[in-house]
Structure 1
Amino acid sequence: MAPRKQQEIFDATLRLVAERGYDGLTVEGVAERSGVNKTTIYRWWPSKAALLGAALVESDVLGFDSPDTGSLRGDLVALVEGVRRLLTEPPGSDIAVAALGAAVRHPELDARRFFADRFAREREIFERAVGRGELKASADPMLIVDLLAGAVWMRSVFRGLRVDDDFATEAVSALLDGI
């Protein structure tokens, strides 16, 4: 399948899940919105769960580039800022909350691939920091990411509070400098 058409299918999938939730997402709806036949979609993805899982990882809408600012602190601030934008600015916020929230209720939607893909990219931040002597090799990168990204999720999604522009800097400082 042509990469452009694949992105159109992923875009339609993510926008539909944002609008209708996982239960309202259908392969027929994705086919109609993306202008392809539903048999084409089923040829590549055997179910709506497989399609949404692929869209979460492969879509340009939720794209992610690992920051490289030259310092661990700068990289973590940029990472937290990226999570903040993802969870607070449309269309990413609508998509992330709907799709990843559905993963909790629907085990057939394997969101682990989404998080594994993100963490594989984030790992570079910690490898560079160890190489520069900013971080002990024994530090747990996943714990650090979970603490920081979890803080954004908690504040923006679960508590429904505004995440201020200085939140990323404050969260990273609290983690790296201690409370």
Structure 2
Amino acid sequence: MNPSSRPPGSGPRRARQLYEATLSQLAEHGYDGLTIEGVAAASTVNKTTIYRWWRSKDELLTDALIGSDSLNLAVPDTGSLRGDLIGLVAEARRMLTSPDTAPTVAAAFAAAASRPALATMVKRFFADRLEREQVVFQRAVDRGELAADVDRQAVMDLLIGALWLRVMFRDEPVDEDFDGQVVDLVLAGVEQHRDRGAR
């Protein structure tokens, strides 16, 4: 099987261990300092085993970003769309601000921004997260809270984009109040869009 087409999470028995070692090495050394040899040493997994599953560090990094437990976003089920979206923003905020994960995220996306070849890594990461979040929107549609034709990706882009800009570019603090405020702003826009469509 072509490693780049392999479903995330597949790989050798110790794939999870490799993922965490990969992200740890990325956070510590940056993209340029990330090597298969370094991951092998940190994970105590033989280098030949790693190369059997991943042809390059880019392929390994892509799978690590998607399959790592440390970057996993728990999908909430609060009983309401607002509550679920606040929960998703809170999870993303944790990932972007926690000392355990923020350096990894910053290093990964800084590398992708300056290397067009890594664009696929970013696309796969966000596509995977959006797929996991679909259940939140489907539950809202089933409850009658949300029109079925709402652009779900746009909703998440607005929410996470606002968080990303505040944390990564403006370097301003965010807290639980921010989660609720940004969700309310986006949902107000969704409601106005629905009202215009009903006229």
2:108 is aligned, of 95, 99, 104, to 99
Equivalent residue number for residue 157 of structure 2: 146
CA distance in 1, matches of 2:81, 2:176: 19
Residue ranges of structure 2 left out of the alignment (5+ in a row): 1-11, 193-199
CA distance in 2, matches of 1:39, 1:159: 43
Matched residue SS, 1:67? coil
Further displaced range: 105-114 or 73-82:
105-114
Equivalent residue number for residue 129 of structure 1: 140
1:65/1:121 contact within 8 Å kept: no
- Amino acid across the alignment from 1:143: A
Runs of 4+ in structure 1 off by over 3 angstroms are: none
Equivalent residue number for residue 27 of structure 2: 18
CA distance in 1, matches of 2:130, 2:110: 19
- Amino acid across the alignment from 1:176: L
1:67 aligns with 2:79: no
CA distance in 1, matches of 2:30, 2:63: 17
1:175 aligns with 2:175: no
TM normalised by structure 2 equals: 0.85
Larger Rg: 2
Aligned-pair CA distance for 1:101: 2.4
1:36 is aligned, of 45, 50, 59, to 45
- Amino acid across the alignment from 2:54: W
- Amino acid across the alignment from 1:132: R
Matched residue SS, 1:137? coil
Residue ranges of structure 1 left out of the alignment (5+ in a row): none
CA distance in 2, matches of 1:102, 1:91: 19
CA distance in 1, matches of 2:112, 2:134: 23
Count of equivalent residues: 177
TM normalised by structure 1 equals: 0.94
Further displaced range: 158-167 or 102-111:
102-111
